[in-house]
Structures are given as C-alpha cells and as structure tokens.
Structure 1
Amino acid sequence: MSWLNAPDPVPGDAASCDPIDTIIMPRTSDLGGFEVRRALPSSRRRMIGPFIFFDQMGPAELLVGGGVDVRPHPHIGLATVTYLFDGEIYHRDSLGSDQLITPGELNWMSAGRGIVHSERERAERKLAPRPLFGIQSWVALPVHLEETEPDFAHYGADRLPLLNDQGATVRLIAGSLYGETSPARTASELFYADVSLEAGARIPLDASHEERGLYTVGGEIEIAGQTFGPAQLLVFKPGDRLEIRATAAGPARFMLLGGAPMDGRRYIWWNFVSSSKERIEQAKEDWRRGRFDIVPGDESEFIPLPAD
C-alpha cells in the first residue's frame, strides 16, 4: 500500500479547498558572503507548534577565506536543529561535543538551563570556494524541561527514515509523519521533514497535528489552486486536509514542520527562549559576567551580549 494514500480535498468544500491561514515572506539579512532568510519569529506568526525560529542559510557559493564563522554564544530554553542541503558546518559546544554536519544529517542540541556553542568551518575548507545551503531552526522546550541539563545528539543521514513513492521523497528529520518515526529524541510532539517532489507529483498532509507549516525551498508547488515559489512559509489552518503538488514546471523541495501548540507563551531575546522574562534577564547577566561554561578548543573568542 502506498503511504501517499489520503483523502483528497472535496470540491465545493471551502475548508478542504482553502487550507492556508498565513503566508510569511522571510526577512533577508546579508552575513557577509551569504544571505540568511528568517521566517520565524514573524510579526504575523510567532510559532508553529514548538518551532520558534526558522532560518534559511544560502544557497551561496562561499569565497576563499570567508564563510561560516560564528563565535561561541549561549542558549537557554530551546533546542537548536541544524539540517543542511549542501556544504558543511563544524559544531563545538560546552559539553565537549565536536561534530561535523554534512547534508542529510541532523544536529540536535538541547540547551536546557544553558549551553554555549560555536558554528564554524574547518580551516582546510576555506582554501577553496564551496557551497552552503541549509536550515537552522529552534524548538522551544516545554516549561517542565526548560531547566534540564544540556544535551547534544547527532544523527547520520542513514539513521533518518527515507520514504520514496510515486515521485515523492521524504526524509523524516524529527517526530512522526506518514507512519514513520525519526530516532531523534524530542521534548514535545512535533514533525519535521525534508520533502522532494518530481514535476507533477503530489503528497498529502493530514490534519493529525494541530499546527502545521510548510517552507518552500526550491521549485514551485501548488496548494488548493495557489502557486508558491521558493522562500515562503505557509501556515495552514487546523483541521483541514490538504494536498501539495509540484507544478509541471519541474521538481520542488520544501520542509514540513509543526506539532502540538506550546504549553504557554514564550519570550525570545537574542539566543534565549523562556516562558519567563525574569529567566531571560538572568541569562543575560550570566553571559555578561562569564558564568556560562566555555567551549573546549574554542575558548579564545565569544560573541558579546548585544545592547538592549
């Protein structure tokens, strides 16, 4: 049986034919050599399920000597989720983790009460032009886990479920979708997947998750008679079944994300996420006074606390 089987939208049923609630055009920033498009948080939508931050890095061709060079910086109350389509990033953190991430792999770093990490490139990579293209998202932690011990996990591409059927390919990064479950250990109910469709191929998205979104990466897709190109975040209405189709113009790629609503409001300031404004103020003071742990092998630099 095909895992693509799902109810089709019902002609004349407005709920099934118009499932899109919000369309977000990301803000673009130039980080010197490559662009970052930030879709979350947005003035139009703060979160989708536990996803509170969503950045697209590239696509870019990095020049000799330039590239990714993010000095050590702190996080609390969230998990960083790094996934690449092209290129590589070298991760180190205050737990002693030392991990290269390449396309199709997953880095999942849970900050809990506090962690420090850096994201750089290996020196030998900088000797030649090279590509960079990927997504970094943040997942807010439930209130009862905000102050847990930090943790880091890496999942190779061969560990993440890969589904192929009728011109659709899905790599399940985290959570559960289409009858499969990723091995990535998450703190709340969610789903996160990298989807590629051949020209004209289609895929359903059922209504089992209350909050659902789609971020277009490449090509064109059609949903309920509307066409969308790259770099758009679509937020769907709850409870509506829908179908996503790549147009006849060519293949398409997008990310599916969402999950259960968070257990209350979240505040975000710089790299800190918390259900408490006071906890964020404490984290700011802790970083200012050097109370966070250091990153072994990357102790000589850090990003100062921004001005309020």
Structure 2
Amino acid sequence: MANNNLLVNERQADLGNFIVGRLLPFREKRQVGPFTFIDHMGPSTVGPGKYVDVDQHPHIGLSTLTYLFEGEIEHRDSIGSVQVIKPGDVGFMTSGSGVTHTERTPQARRQGGSFTMHGYQIWVALPKEKEEMAPEFNYYPSDAIPTWQTGDLTFRLVAGEAFGRSAPLQGFSPLFMVDIYAEKASTLHLGGQLRGEVAFVIVRGAIKEKEALVKAGQMLISKTDEQCEVCLEAGTQLLLFGGEPLPDEPLLRWNFVSHSKARLAQARVDWENKNFPMVPGDNTYIPFP
C-alpha cells in the first residue's frame, strides 16, 4: 500500500540475538529473507464518510501480500483483477515488469455504520531473474489456508513452507509466513522448523526474549538462523516470516524494487509520463514523491 498514514515506525534497539523495531526496511536491516517492506494497516475505525481509498499507484519487481485480521478491502489492478479481501484471506499481486493497483473499502461497506480495519501488506522482492515477469494476481480464501493446532498454539500457514507443511501460496523464492496465536502462555520451538532468516511481528500480546518484553506493534528480527525458541504470553498473536535471503539484495525506491538503479530511474520516468498500464475505469493518480 502506498502513501498510507497508518504506517508504523519506532526507534530500533539491539537485544543481543535480536534486533527489535516496527518496520522494514530500517538502517540496520533492509530485508528479512525476500521480505523487504511492511505496511501496518490499523487497527482503525472505518466509516461512515471515512474509508480506505488508496488511489492508483505503480509497482515493479515485487509481490504485494495482503493479509487482514478485521475489515475488508477491494483490490483492483491493471491486469483486470477485482477481488474483495476479507479476514484470513490472502491476496498476492506480483508486479514483475509493471502493474498499477488501487485499494479501497468495498462499495457494499459504504452504506453507513462503521467497522474496524486491521491487517498488513507486505512486500516480497522478486529474484533478479523474475523481476521482469508478466504481472499476475493470485487469491487464496481463508478456508484454503492450512490451519492446525499444537498444544495451546494455533498456526495458519499464510505462505511458503514451515513446520513440515506447505501453503498454496509459494512465492518465487524460499520463504514462509505463519500466523500464530497462543491461547495460553506457551513456548514456540523453531529448531529445524524453518529455513532462512526469521522475524516476528507482534500483532497483540507480547513475547519474551531473555529479560526483554517485546510488545504489540513491534517487530523482532533474529540475527541468527539458529534462534530456536521464544516465549509467548497468553493471548499473544504474531506473524512469523522470513526465508532465504536473495543472492543479491535488491534496491528499493518508492514503490519500485529492482537490482538495477537504471531500471528504478526508468520506472520513475514511466510513471511520471503515465506510461504504466492503468486500472480499467480508474483515472486517479498518486504522483512520484
């Protein structure tokens, strides 16, 4: 999501084995696996007269992963996709060589009354050899997401491979994203369950690392692949994500990701000259900042 005033940021601190913060990228760590950007939506009250309306904006070289806990958002893009994303669903748009899209409160939810919007949009950088692939959009309804329980922990495998299971959404490089809820205070054991770098976004509740308490809204990034366990307080929900780092870390400029500075510069020129494909029936335009 571009130009979202619900974007969160917080000063980072080093806790020994971990870096704690609230957003990717930041100075000490630009990516976790192929994940390159996190946009936190809410929680906030929507309606009446106050709706989500992110106008038409472009992307290259990345996939956007939309995952909601509350509310609804309608995705439209320049390849003709129209999809309302609801809690537990996964929307995955791959921009490749170039795509534009909008994100709005669906018309059916603009009839009065109010509701809560809360979720995340996460950007996943494409491998260098996939950066110029044709754009595509994939949608996975909530009931297609693998869900299971281990002790007092409930798991939903949003993307990739983890804990010996595979999600319908695999992405374009080795990655994982898992939604975990602890009904009671629990220890999450990660040894041998994941491949690559690991990060935790605490949605609600808190987790403990040594004597430090990492609370809702913060992000914990493991600086070693060997970190094996964390302690979750009762009622904690977190997103666990990461994977194998890309061989060459790409560059990020506004909504564009590429391994080439020249390609980033060309994308800006193309957007300013309105040479990107456009969302059918939509003439809105977010300028390059």
TM-score normalised to the size of structure 2? Answer: 0.91
Which residue does the alignment assign to 2:245? 261
- 1:156-305 matches, within 5 Å, as 156-206=141-191, 208-247=194-233, 250-297=234-281, 299-305=282-288
CA contact (8 A) 1:23 1:235 kept: yes
Q: What amino acid is aligned across from residue 268 of structure 2 in structure 1?
A: K
* More displaced 10-residue stretch of structure 1: 129-138 or 263-272: 263-272
Equivalent in 126, 135, 139 of residue 154 of structure 1? 139
Structure 1 contact 224–243 (Cα < 8 Å) conserved: no
Deviation track 1:100-126 (CA, whole Å, cap 9, x = no partner) reads 000001000000000010000123313
Structure showing greater Rg: 1
Contact 2:197–2:245 at 8 Å: present in 1 too? yes
Q: CA deviation at 1:225?
A: 4.1
**Alignment equivalent of 2:83, drawn from 96, 99, 113:** 99
Residues 80-119 of structure 1: matches in 2 within 5 Å? 80-119=64-103
| 1:22-41 Cα deviation digits (max 9, x unpaired) | 111x3xxxxxxxxxxxx011
Structure 2 residue runs of 5 or longer lacking an equivalent are 1-14
1:21-67 CA-to-partner distances (Å, cap 9, x unmatched) read: 3111x3xxxxxxxxxxxx01112211000000012111111231112
2:57 pairs with one of 59, 62, 73: 73
Give the fraction of aligned pairs with identical amino acids, expressed as a percent: 38
Moved more, 158-167 or 82-91: 158-167
- AA aligned opposite 1:133: H
Compared CA separation, residues 19 and 236, structure 1 to 2 (3 A):
farther
In the alignment, the residues of structure 1 paired with residue 236 and residue 78 of structure 2 have an alpha-carbon distance, to the nearest angstrom, of: 38
Cα RMSD (Å)? 1.5
Instruction: Give the distance between the partners of 1:177 and 1:215, measured in 2 at CA.
Output: 16
Q: Which amino acid aligns with 1:230?
A: A
Specify whether residues 193 and 243 from structure 1 end up closer, same or farther in structure 2 by C-alpha distance, changes over 3 A only: same
Which letter maps to 1:172?
L
Q: State the Cα deviation string for residues 250-289 of structure 1 (Å, max 9, x = none).
A: 3100000100111212111111011111001100111111
Q: For the residues of structure 2 that align with 1:168 and 1:213, how far apart are their CA atoms?
A: 18
Q: Flag structure 1 segments of 5+ consecutive residues without an equivalent.
A: 1-17, 27-38
CA contact (8 A) 2:198 2:225 kept: no
Whether the 8 Å contact between 2:157 and 2:166 is mirrored in structure 1 is yes
Give 1:163's aligned amino acid: W
TM-score, with normalisation over the residues of structure 1?
0.85
Structure 2 counterpart SS, 1:215:
strand
The CA distance in 2 between the partners of 1:239 and 1:211, in whole Å, is 5
Aligned equivalents of 1:200, 1:146: Cα separation in 2: 42
1:224 CA displacement: 3.4
